[in-house]
Every structure is written in C-alpha cells, then in structure tokens.
Chains A and B, each alone.
Chain A
Amino acid sequence: MIDYAIYRIAVLVPTLFAVSLAVFLVLHLVPGDPARNAAGPDAEEEDIALIREHYGLDQPLWTQYGTYLVRVAQGDLGESFRSRRPVLDEVLRRLPATVELAGYAMIFAVILGVGMGVVASMRPNSWLDQIIGALSAFGISVPVFFLGLLLMMVFAARLQWLPPSGRGTWSHLVLPVVTLGLPYVATFARVARSTMLEVLSEDYIRTARAKGLVQRAVIWRHALINAAIPLVTLLGVYFGRLLGGAVIVETIFAWPGLGRYMVDGIIQRDLQVVQGCILFFATAIVVVNLMVDLLYSVLDPRIARG
C-alpha cells in the first residue's frame, strides 16, 4: 500500500512537468504578437519593443520555457498584461470561491445522486424508479447555463427567496451549487442504480438475506459498500468536469471564482492569466485523480498489489 502510494506520488512529478510544457507550448501557438496584444491597438513601436523585452518575449522559445519553469517553481505565474497584477495572487484570491462552489456541488451531487440511485435500485421498474429515471434524463440533458437562468428567474426574481448573484452568505451558495450539481446528481443516480442492481444479484447479498438481515442493513451496509468502488472512480473524473462546469456557472451567477477570471482572460487575450489558470486547473485535477486512486486502493486492496 505504502509502496504504491510512493510510486503514484513519484509519477506525479513527470506528469506535472508534461502538463506545464503542454500548457506553455499550446499557448505560444496563439497567433498574433502577445506584446502587441498587450500594448493595445494604438501603442507606439518602442512601447511594444519595451514590453517584449520586459516579458522576455524576444528570447527563443526554449529559453522562455526554461525561465517560465523556474518562475513557476518559485510560485511566480507571471503578471496579467491588463491589470499588471501577479497572476498567482489573483488566482489564490479567487480559489476559495471556486473550491467552495465545486466542493458543495460535489457533496450535493453525491448525496442526492447516490441516494436516488439506491432507492431506484431497490424496486427496479417501479413508479419511483421511473420518476427517478425521468429526472436523471432531464438532468443530463439540460444545459447548465439555461438551468441556471431558469432557477435565477424563479427563485431570485419571482419568488425572491434567494439572491440572484454574488457571494457572501450561504443563501448565495444555493443557486450556483444546485445549478452546477444537478447534472451530476443525474449521472450519479444512473451509475449508482446500475452498479447497485449488479451488486444486489450477487451471492453474498443472498447470503446476507438468508441469515436474516433486514433490508436496510443489506442495502446500506453490504451492497452500497461494494457498489462504492465504481462510484469513487467517477468522483475523480467528475471533479474535473465540475471544474469545467464551474467556468460557466461562475459566469451566470457573477461568482468571483477562477473560472470567470479565466474566461475574462481569454476574451481580453490576456495570455498570462489563461496560462496560469489552466496550469492551476490541470494541477488540481492531477492531484485529485491521485487522491482518488489512493482512496480506491484503500477500498479495494487488490489494486495496489496488481
């Protein structure tokens, strides 16, 4: 187990290295002169040359990557072409908002989704199962931005129960978390239902029933624990997708997080900001996937040995 953990953490280093190289190279393929973009349309040639020199944009690509790596290792993600502020500061200032949003959305999706899936699996093809099935078809198909605007229209504008946008109290959290989490409630419900149905047909479930265990113990203690393994794998995959969805949800609800910062960076062609955000997202996803894999090997020790 510990060997496996050390191996996985050691593999992390080249992975992050590759991620940084990919992000760096890809964003240097952007057409146009970054110095000219940063300076604006009316800038003098001398100013553009100064900017080019200041940011090292006149150096060969590999030198730029070298200095970039050294800077990133020192925690320097460069500074925004527009606001002139360090990207890392801006990222760290917005990070708690995104973590809060994505974290609560994940908790919401897991609890409600797995709960619905388990309930649906207990009586397959019953009316309850069919309602849950219809709800999850809805959740998978509705575009998050449309869902967000609908919820905003009903609960913020018409009923005035919740604030329409911004961040602060827990009531600000409700609409963005529900919007971001609902499609994943649907996905978790579908997966939980099908894995539970599989597990419930296993011999050890029949044994558990035969020795007289009540339904509640069979479902929640015997079956769900064994159905948990595929669900945990999904957690890693969906954490990344959730971050992707956060980009849209933050835009709708004026949520002051990383996603909105990145979209603004793209629209203003502020490459340092985009690069910093993508590197940050990528690192977060790689680290979360590692944690999920480790959790996975705790749940199923055969994986670490394999």
Chain B
Amino acid sequence: MTGFIIFLLATRRYMAIVGLGVLAVFFAAALAAPLIYSWSAATLVNLSQALAPPSLTLPLGADEMGRDMIARLVWGARVSLIVAGTSVSVALVAGLLIGGLCGYYDNRITFVTMRAMDAVISFPRILVAIMLITILGPGMASLTLAIAISSVPVFARLFRGPVLSLKTRDFVLASRSLGAGDMRLLFRHVMPNISALIIVQGSISLAEAVLIASGLSFLGLGPQPPVPEWGAMIAQSRSHLMSSPHVVLVPGIALFLLVLALNLVGDGLRDFTDPKAGRAIARPA
C-alpha cells in the first residue's frame, strides 16, 4: 500500500491518489454507518420534513418520505460496497478456480467449460444478471449472487491464459521434478504469479459491479424499499427531480464519485503492476 502511494506520487498520478482518498471516505462511511446513524434514521418515514432542502439540521436535505439524505447516503454506501465487494470476491474465487483448473488441465471437460464461459461472455452482463434475478426474485442477496455469477466467466477467461503459459515455465517444471503435486503447483507456484492481475482486475470489477448493481436497483430488481440503495433512491425520487433536485443529485453524485474513484485506483494499480508502465515495480506491496 505504501509502495503504491509512493509510486503514484513519484509518477505524478495525482488522480489515482484523489481516487484513493475518495475511496477511503466511502469505506469509512460504510463501516461507521451504524455508529453515526441508526437504521431507522435511514428508513423511517417522517412526512413533516418531506423534500426538505439542505439546511443546518439536514445538511443534504430530506427525501420525499422525509428521511435524512445523509443517513440514507451513508447506509447506501454500506449497501453498495457490501453488494459489490461480496459479488466480486465470490466471482474472483470461482473464476480463479475455474480459470486455473481449465488452464492447468487440458482435456474435454475443461474445453467444454471454457466454451460455455465464452458463450456466456458474449451476452451483456446486465442481461445475464436480469435473467438470474428473474429466477431468484428481486432483493439484495439475489442481486449480489446475480452479479457474482455474471462475472465468473470474465474472470475465468482472464485467469486461464496466464496459467496456461505459466505451467510450462522452468520454475514450475523444476518443482514438478522435485515431486510437487498438481494442486501444490497450481496454488503455490502458478497462482501467486498472477496476483497482480487479480488485484487490478478486482478493483476494475468493483467499479463495474457498483454500476450494474445500481442500474438493476434503479429498475426495481435490487434491494426493495425502504433499503437505501443509491440506484433505487434515484428511481424512487426521480419525479421530484425538478422541484427538489437534491433528492436525485445526492445519490447520483455519490454513485459517480465511488465508481470514478474505483476506476482511477484501478488505472493506477494497472500502471503500478504493469512492467511496461516505466518505473513500475512487478509486485504490489
């Protein structure tokens, strides 16, 4: 982490540093949400202050149900980061297993598996996720699962290539000749060599997961009201866009900033880990 920041400073990638800062704020908000605002502050209807504009007591105003926008924003950060974080972690593990095994073993089963992955990849992820949510029913858990499943093929294909080329490298052959088994070779010798790729792809996938999750929630396929999901908040408040723009602008800008920050950090990580990027170091600290 320190190495990464020094790299960003040294190569004047200030936007990525700003991204890291923004991310830190969102993570802190998501972690501290239950400490700052109770769940009921974010969800209980209080029509006496409906659509209240930003003021001293309500710094970001209130939504059409009179709920404090800051409380909903902070809890929304928690919802978005939990959905995106869980789905990307699940998909990374599954993608690594499938991609790793399919790269390491070359037989009929892995061939068919990879063709199936290719077939799923050719469809837009949002359609795959919509199909899965149709089966699972809308909600936070099925949203997370749908996003996870729809990203598995992307990871599997991405990780298969490097595994395929790494398994014939001398250091792997050397430990095989020392008697290491397949599983030990795959997980102790091959996988650590794609850790940079995993980190870079993970951060970019987080941005994509946040976008898809909010888009599906906007369509009403994510967490149901009163759960404060940013995309769902925008969908529910959009009819008040003209009279009280803050109800749409607050969650919209938050969403944009979070995705932008994830993308900027992802770009920074790619330059940091890619040897072609000049003074980059091969492995992140």
Contact = CB atoms under 8 A, between A and B. Distances in A.
Interface of A: 15, 18, 23, 26-27, 29-31, 137-138, 140-146, 149-150, 152-153, 157, 237, 240-245, 247-248, 251, 262-263, 266-267, 271, 274, 278, 281-282, 285-286, 289
B211 to A, nearest CB: 6
Interface stretch (B3-11, B31-39, B194-202, B255-263): B255-263
A149 B126 contact: no
Contact of B259 (A141, A157, A251, A286): A141
A206 to B, nearest CB: 21
B183 interface: no
A248 B252 contact: no
14 contacts: A29-B135, A137-B15, A137-B263, A137-B264, A140-B263, A141-B207, A143-B214, A145-B231, A244-B127, A245-B124, A248-B126, A248-B215, A248-B219, A266-B130
B126 A247 contact: yes
Interface stretch (B68-76, B96-104, B241-249): B241-249
Contacts of A18: 119
A244 B260 contact: no
A141 B124 contact: no
Given A146-B255, A240-B123, A266 B260 contact: no
Nearest to B217: A145
Contact of B131 (A242, A243, A278): A278
B122 interface: yes
A137 B264 CA distance: 8
Contacts of B241: 149, 152-153, 157
A196 to B, nearest CB: 17
A267 B242 contact: no
A95 B122 CA distance: 21
B167 interface: no
B221 to A, nearest CB: 7
Nearest to B127: A244
A198 to B, nearest CB: 11
B119 A15 contact: yes
B245 A240 contact: no
A150 B252 contact: yes
B234 A146 contact: yes
B218 interface: yes
Interface in B241-285: 241-242, 245, 248, 252, 255-256, 259-260, 263-264
Nearest to B258: A141
Contacts of B220: 263, 267
Given A146-B248, A244-B126, A248-B215, 12 more contacts: A30-B135, A137-B264, A143-B259, A145-B218, A149-B241, A153-B245, A157-B241, A237-B122, A251-B218, A263-B219, A274-B131, A289-B122
Contacts of B248: 146, 149
Contacts of B259: 141-143
Interface string B123-151: 11111001111110100000000000000
Nearest to B133: A266
B119 A153 contact: no
B189 interface: no
Contact of B215 (A23, A30, A145): A145
Interface string B46-90: 000000000000000000000000000000000000000000000
Given A29-B135, A140-B263, A141-B207, A282 B219 contact: no
Q: Which of A142, A143, A149, A274 has the most CB of B within 10 A?
A: A143
A286 B122 contact: yes
A240 B119 CA distance: 13
Contact of A251 (B124, B219, B256): B219
A143 B255 contact: yes
Given A240-B122, A243-B124, A278-B127, A141 B134 contact: no
Contacts of B214: 143, 145
Ordered nearest first, which 5 A-B pairs have the shortest CB separation? A244-B124, A146-B252, A244-B126, A141-B260, A141-B259
Contacts of B122: 237, 240, 285-286, 289
A266 B222 CA distance: 12
Contacts of A145: 214-215, 218, 231, 234-235
Contact of A141 (B119, B123, B231, B256): B256
B199 to A, nearest CB: 19
A21 B259 CA distance: 36
